[in-house]
Structures are given as structure tokens and as C-alpha cells.
Amino acid sequence: MSCVRSLFALTVLSILLAACGGGGGGSGSYHIAISHTTPGVTCEATLITLTLHDDDDHSPVAVDADKVVALTYSPSVDAGNPTSVTVQDGESTAQFYLSQTTDIGQIDIDADNSSDGISDPDDHGSEDPYIEFRDTAFLFYADGNPVSTTAIGAQIAGLISSSNPSSQTLELRAIETDTNTKACTSAITGTETVQIAYECKNPTSCSSTNRLSFSSAVDTETITRNNDGATLSYTDVNMSFDSDGIAGFTVNYSDAGQIKLYAQKVVASASPNPGYTLEGSSNNFVVRPFGFDIDFSDLRSADWLDNSALDGTASNLTYATGASGTAYLKAEEGFLGTLSAVVWQSADDSPIDGIPDTNANLTDNVVAENFGQETSASSITFSHSLIAPTIGDGGVSGTFTASAVTVGGGSSSFSSGVATSTMNWNEVGVIDITGSLSDYLSDTSADITGTANDVGRFYPDHFVLTSSVGGYGNACATGTAFSYIGQSFGYASSSEPSVTVIPKRSGNDSSATINNYLGDFKKLTTGSIVMDTALTSANAGVDLSNLPVTATYSAPTLSDGGSGSESNTILTFNSADTYTYTRTTNALVAPFSVALSLEVNSLTDSDGVKAEDGSDVDISASAPFTFTPTSTGTLQRFGRLRLENAFGPETAALNVPINVEYYTGSDFIRNEDDGCLVLANTNLDLEVTDDDSAPNDSFNYTAGIITNITIDSGTTDGSIGNSPFSSGTANFNFSAPGADATAAIEIQTTDTSAMSWLLYNWDGVDQGSDLDFLDDNPSSTAIFGRYRGHDKILFWREESN
């Protein structure tokens, strides 16, 4: 008891200053708030605290110079108590001990700084409470000291007060003043029934159920709740008091706010001692929520429920471990985040540090329903951190926004401990989203946080396309380069066009470009692009309509954009792509340069992200993305293969003209630029028609046989002198069959698929009734010797084709 007596004997002012950490920022007008625990006992001093508060938000305000505060007491107290204290420069708080050796009730402490016109409210409310001194009382202790000296500190909702991280030893001391020595002695010992109550100070109204569990060494009870200022209702609790009148206890409050404990016991008279009542109260102390559970339209709750794991299975799409995670939201697409202030449970905090573990399941925790009903307002701070792609892999954090969430005050966002916020993130990838509140109810040790880990996967809103047009080439380049109409052509050497795919968030300007569409977060494949294969050129046909073109495409190659644009994807067209002008009689026009635009009908990645036209409209077959490769040096010619008749003696070799021609716009001429056309034996079909009756050597040879052709007693060999053609001619010859070996050899080309672009309408007949008159292989006749004509032919006219 020596410590108690020394405190009781204190007659000089003790000033204990605490740093404020802020200058209010409210109205600019201030008052002095007085706080203490009551009743005090007549055998020891009680600590009184003065704090300079802003009038509006009641936040502590640091003074900019020493401030002397005058103290008066009504009714008068013992001599020797301080009559003034000084709040020192830069501080907001001053403390002093008040002692009173006789029983007295409702002492009004007045604190006044007349020079600045600042005083206490003088309303006997929460910032100007009366203090009583009694000969008998209950005193609440924390860590061996009265709570007026060592306050019950901030607690965590749902976590017992004796547990880490802020463990305290809490005790209730039954104390009385010895009438002879005036020293503090125990008022009761042994197991006694004590009435316990709790009062909700801030919020001033409790939630709908009793949330405080109070445990002594011999009993545990749920304590009756009381709104601020209400007549107290108590709950009986058995407590075991030692010889010093001290009984240990713990509390566990499963809600949030600032509360106060009360204890009372009526002690019956025992002759010669009269009966008396022990009463006492704790300091106001804060109980913060364990953390914030952040969910998104209950998808995380559903994810936990389906298999007791957060794994993004089925339709629970908010969790992704990386690029392989299921697509959740488009970049910058708004989504609803739900914050629930939750109570601690052991599975979420190992080892116990009062902070939710990474990926802890808070969806099944009890909600602290009173959170958000506090008298003064504060705000949740939202932040995010990039998980993937990492900064080291080129990722950027992007911009995360969340609509304001207000805690308490007149317009709180919370109802029953739950609030919502509309959020969005403007990038691709996976992020953590954190909500936090510092210094809950102005308690610097009552920070609250909650993190939704691995939220995603976020993907682009759309793509926009740009092109590198490349250039067309020609099928033949042995002279003046050209292609025949109907013959496929491709790109000039190293001139393949490309399409650059630019990922975008909402909007299309440069600021809307996505940066994190990188690596495996890219979901484009070679099959993502769909090209129009039935094209229309800008080249006019005979009837002035535009000539159609057929395109064939092979898989493009994919590559990343250049430095600073790695999120772009370049699709480079395949050098094997071909384009073919449709060859009809309408295409029988003078040579022209290629005038052909390419059309991207769609581009879609595996997430379903589509390319748009720059006006929020998806590109399509009816609204394609177009670009036109250059056509410098390209030339399209309408060509045909022509075989001419030849006559000569059987004793000499015979040259049969086989030439390739093109239409100039007025006539066909030999295409002297063609050194590319290949004519093989298999392209020729020979039939011998003998000109005499004996022996009859008429015979239709199998296509491709052009040597050892029997004519009467001799033979002839056909040979192709130029394959490929030279200056547009094949230089085809038959060797001399010998004297008296006379006959006509009919020559016709075959294998039209190899030279379909050189067929022509030689007979004026639509062979397949398909309106394609350009369907005839060329033919001619080579005659050795005198030819008298066939017996069944009445009229013979020489004609070549």
C-alpha cells in the first residue's frame, strides 16, 4: 500500500503530456475536454486528464504555445490540489492527480484558459463529467494500475482481452478507506456475486443483442447491454477476491465501438459495521473490428462455400492466381465491393497478431453490427497492389478507384456493419484490394484493415487495330513483273502486311491503352483474326463493275510490340497468303495494277475481347477493319495459252508454235515477259490421224506420251524446248518421221488446274453450262506430208486456235 499512500499524499502538480499527432483541422474553435474514472476513493488520488478538442469533430488539437489552464472545484476539495496546469507548446493534453480524503459526491471540475477564451463545456456531459470520492468503491485495474493511470487499451472484437497482440491483465479491486489509518484496504474477499454492466459510449446505442462476455476465475456470463446515459441494467457474476480484495477477469466484446464497464455490489451491514454499496467504472475503451471482409457480389463467399477453398472454381470468378485464372472483369469496368466489419476467429489469425491472415476466410465471421454508427465521421481508405504481371515483368500498378465509404457521422455508409463501394481498376492482371481505417475512434492503437487477395483476372475492354500495309507482289518476274488474272499472287519479298492489336480500357484515346496485356495475360492466338476471303477490288471489269478477288490465308505470326509498347500484339501475315482475281469474260480488260483492300472481319481473343472500330462498335463483316497494301510494280494481265497449226514435209522437223498471250485492251499479243510458265509432257495429249488407208496408223495416245509416235513406217518424237517458257514461247518441235510417213497430229493441252488462268473461249460453247465460257484447252494440228483429208470429212478448212 506504500504506492497508494504516496499517491494519496501527492500535493504537487504532476503534468503528464501526450503527443497529439495532429492539429484538428475542424472549426478553428476549441474547448477543453475533461476525462477520469469515477468514483475515486478517499484513500488514493485519481488521475484527471484535460484535452484540447476541436468544437466540431472533437479531435485533439495541439497548442502552438504554452497554455495555462486554471482549475476550480465545486464543492471545494482538499487543500493542496492543483489550481492550474500548463498544456505545453506542441501538446494537446495535460494530466494531474486529484485527491479527496472525505466522502463527497458530484464534484464539478472547471477548466478555463481565460486569455484564449477556452473552457470546458460546463454541461456535466461526456466531456465534463462529475467525479465522486467515496470511502468504499470498486476500482478497475489494468496491468496492476488503476485505469485512471493505465487505461484498458484498445481491444479486438471477438478476441479475449488476455490474448495477444494487446494482452492486458484486468482486475476489479474492492477497496475501502480504513477509518483509522486512512489507508486503502480490501472491502471484500472470497467468492462474491458482483453486478456487472456495460455501456455503449460511442456509438451511443448498442446493437440489438448482448455482445459482452465477462469471465472471472469462477464464472462466465453474457453481460446486459446499456445505451449511453440509460439507467444501468446489471448481470450477476460470481468473482473470487483475494486477500487484497482483487479479482481477475477477462472481457470479450463481439461488436465494435467504445464501451465502459460498471461494477456494483451491495454489502449488507455486519455489526458493528454498517452496510454500504461498492460501485465503480472503467475508462472508456475502444473495441475495434478484427478486420474488413471484402467481397464482390458474394462471389468470394460462394467460392469458399463450394469446396472450403478460395480457388475461383465454377462461376466464382473473383480469385485468380495469375494469367491462368478465370476472366472476371474488364479493365475499368465498375464492380461492387462489399465491406463487412467482422469479429475475430482463430482460424483467421495464426499466429495471433490481430491482423487477418493472407487469404483468410472472413466471409463466415460474425459481423460487428454497431460499426459505422459512431457519432463522428471518418473514412475508409482504399488501396491496391499489383500481384501479376509483376513490376519486374513489365507490369504497372495502374489506377484503382473506389467510391467513398464513410464510417459514422450523420451519413454513414454502413448499415449493420456492412457497406458497399463501387470500384474499378484500369489495368489487366491480378491485384490485392485493401480497405483500412486508422485510429478508430481516435485510438492510435485501433487500426483496422482488410485485404481481398488475388482479385481478378482483369482483362481488356476491347482492342483497336492499326496496320502496316505491306505490299503486293507478282507471280512472275522474269521480265516486266506480272500476274495473270486468275493466277494467285502474294506479297512482295519481305513486304508482308501486319495488324497491330492495341488493348484498351474504356475509351479509345492514347490514355486508354492497357499496359499489362503481357506474357500469358495475352489471350490472342493465330486463330484470333478472321479475314474476309471474298474481296472486291477497285479494278473495273468490262461492265465497269469491280472485279472480285478470292483470298486464302495461312496462320499469321504473333509478336509483341516494340519497346514501350510490349502490351501490343503484332500479327504479321503469312508469306504463303494468296490472292486471285476471278477470271471471267468480264475480266477481259487491259492490264492494270492491283487495287485491293484487305478486310479484317473480326478479331477476338480467348476471353471474348473484340476489336472495335474506334467508335465502340465491334468490327464485323459488314463493318470491317480495312487497309490497302501498296501495289507499286504490280500488273495483272488477262492471258491465254495458244497453240498454232503447223505444216511441213515428213523429212524435216516441224516446229509447232505454243505461245502464251495477254490482252492489251484491243488485241492479244505474245507475252514476251513470261519466262515462268512450265509446260510438261503431261500437259499434252496427242492423237494421230493417218491420211491413207493402209496401214491405218490413227491412234489416240495417252496424255503425256509425246515421243515414239508412230506414223506409217516411221516415228516422231515431240519435245518442249523451253520449260519454263522463254519470251512467251515453249519452242515445241516434232522430229522428222521419215519419207512417206504422213499424218496429222492433233495436239491439245490437258491438266487445266495447273494453267486454269490460261483457258479461253475457243469454241464459243459453255462446256459446263456454268456461265463460264473460258473453259477450253487450246489445241492445234501438226501435219507431216500431203494430207488428202478424211474420207468422212466433206469440207476441210485450215484453222488454228
What DSSP letter does each residue of 470-481 carry, written as one string? -BB--SB-SSS-
1-134 fold: Immunoglobulin-like (2.60.40)
Task: Give per-residue pLDDT as tens, 569-623.
Answer: 999 999 999 999 999 999 999 999 999 999 999 999 999 999 999 888 999 999 9
Q: Is 525 helix (H, G, I), strand (E, B) or coil?
A: coil
Looking at residue 2, its pLDDT comes to 33
Cell of 508: 479509345
Looking at the chain, how many residues does it have? 801
- Return the pLDDT at 753: 67
The pLDDT assigned to 321 comes to: 87
First to last CA, the chain: 134
pLDDT at 500 over 90: yes
DSSP per residue over 282-305, as a string?
---EEEE-SEEEEESTTHHHHHHH
Higher pLDDT, 367 or 787: 367
The Cα 581–Cα 594 span in angstroms is 9
Q: How confident is the model at residue 134 (pLDDT cuts 50, 70, 90)?
A: confident
Record the cell numbers describing residue 775, joined without a space.
473453259
**pLDDT tens per residue, range 218-250:** 999 999 999 999 999 999 999 999 999 999 999
% of the chain surpassing 90 pLDDT? 72
- The two domains 1-134 and 638-784 share their CATH topology (first three levels equal): yes
Q: How far apart are CA 360 and CA 337, in angstroms?
A: 17
Amino acid at 53: H
pLDDT over threshold 80, residue 768: no
Helix (H, G, I), strand (E, B) or coil at 704: coil
- Beta-sheet strand order (sheet of 30-35): 30-35, 46-54, 93-98
Confidence at residue 315, expressed as pLDDT on a 0 to 100 scale: 65
Answer for the pair 215, 249: CB distance below 8 angstroms, yes or no: yes
Strands (E), 234-380: 235-241, 246-253, 257-267, 276-281, 285-288, 291-295, 329-330, 335-342, 378-379
Domain range annotation of the chain: 1-134, 137-288, 296-459, 478-636, 638-784
* Burial annotation 418-430 (CB, 10 A radius, 16+ → b, else e): bbbbebbbbbbbb
Residue 788 confidence (pLDDT): 46
Residue-averaged pLDDT of the chain: 90
pLDDT at 80: 83
Rounded distance between C-alpha atoms, residue 691 and residue 612, angstroms: 73
User: In angstroms, rounded to a whole number, what is the distance separating the alpha carbons of residues 762 and 668?
Assistant: 13
Query: What pLDDT does 106 receive?
Result: 87
800 pLDDT exceeds 60?
no
Q: Is the distance from CB of 479 to CB of 672 less than 8 angstroms?
A: yes
Q: Report the distance separating Cα 677 and Cα 476, nearest Å.
A: 9
- Judged against a pLDDT cut of 60, whether residue 12 lies above it is answered with no
Is 261 in contact with 140 (CB distance < 8 Å)?
yes
Q: How far apart are the C-alpha atoms of 747 and 733, rounded to whole Å? A: 12
What are 482's strand-pairing partners?
A: 476
2.60.40, 3.30.70, 3.40.50, 1.10.3910: which CATH number matches 638-784?
Answer: 2.60.40
pTM given for the model: 0.81
pLDDT value of position 15: 31
Name residue 340's beta-bridge partners. Answer: 293, 418
At 506, the pLDDT band (50, 70, 90 cuts) reads: confident
- What pLDDT is attached to residue 796? 55
Dist. CA 286–CA 368, nearest whole Å: 13
Which H, E and C letters describe 631-676, residue by residue? CCCCCEECEEEEECCEEECCCCCEEECEEEEEECCCCEEECCCCCC
Q: Which residues pair with 110 in a beta bridge?
A: 72
Distances (CA, A) of 110 to 12, 33, 44, 107, 123: 19, 10, 21, 10, 10
Rounded Cα gap, residues 218 and 165, in angstroms:
25
Pick from 286-295, 508-517, 709-718, 725-734: least confident: 508-517
Q: Does 193 score more than 70 pLDDT?
A: yes
pLDDT confidence band for 273 (50 / 70 / 90): confident
Q: How many CB atoms lie within 10 A of CB 521?
A: 27
Evaluate if residue 471 carries a pLDDT over 50. Answer: yes
pLDDT digits (tens, 9 = 90+) for 194-209: 999 999 999 999 999 9
pLDDT of residue 274: 81
Residue 727, phi-psi category: left (phi > 0), alpha (psi -120 to 50), beta (remainder): left
pLDDT at res. 87: 92
Give the tens place of pLDDT for each residue, 286-327: 999 999 999 999 999 988 888 888 887 666 679 998 999 999
Q: Please give the Cα distance from 491 to 494 (Å, whole number).
A: 8
Least confident of 14-18, 71-75, 246-250, 442-446: 14-18
pLDDT in tens, 15-42: 333 333 333 344 568 889 998 888 888 8
Q: What is the pLDDT of residue 505?
A: 93
**pLDDT at residue 428 tops 90:** yes
Please say whether the beta carbons of 311 and 326 come within 8 A. Answer: no
Which of 271, 657, 542, 288 minimizes the C-alpha distance to 438? Answer: 288
Burial class from Cβ neighbours inside 10 Å (0-12, 13-18, 19+) for residue 694 reads exposed
pLDDT higher than threshold 70 for residue 683: yes
Structure confidence by residue, pLDDT tens digits, 645-682: 999 999 999 999 999 999 999 999 999 999 999 999 99
Taking only Cα atoms into account, the Rg of the chain, rounded to an integer number of angstroms, comes to: 50
Instruction: List the single range of 6-15, 329-338, 460-469, 535-544 with lowest mean pLDDT.
Output: 6-15
Q: How far apart are CA 284 and CA 364, in angstroms?
A: 30
pLDDT for res 773: 83
**Tell me, what's the pLDDT at 529?**
97
Given pLDDT bands bounded at 50, 70 and 90, which one contains residue 797? low
* pLDDT band of 11, cuts 50, 70, 90: very low
| pLDDT at residue 5, rounded to an integer | 28
Of the pLDDT bands very low, low, confident and very high (cuts 50, 70, 90), residue 795 is low
Q: Which CATH architecture has domain 137-288?
A: Sandwich (2.60)
What pLDDT, on the 0 to 100 scale, is given for residue 24?
39
Residue 30 CB coordination number (10 Å): 22
DSSP bridge pairs for 142 = 145, 170
> Is the pLDDT higher at 127 or at 734?
734
Amino acid identity, residue 282?
S
Q: What is the average pLDDT across 442-449?
A: 96
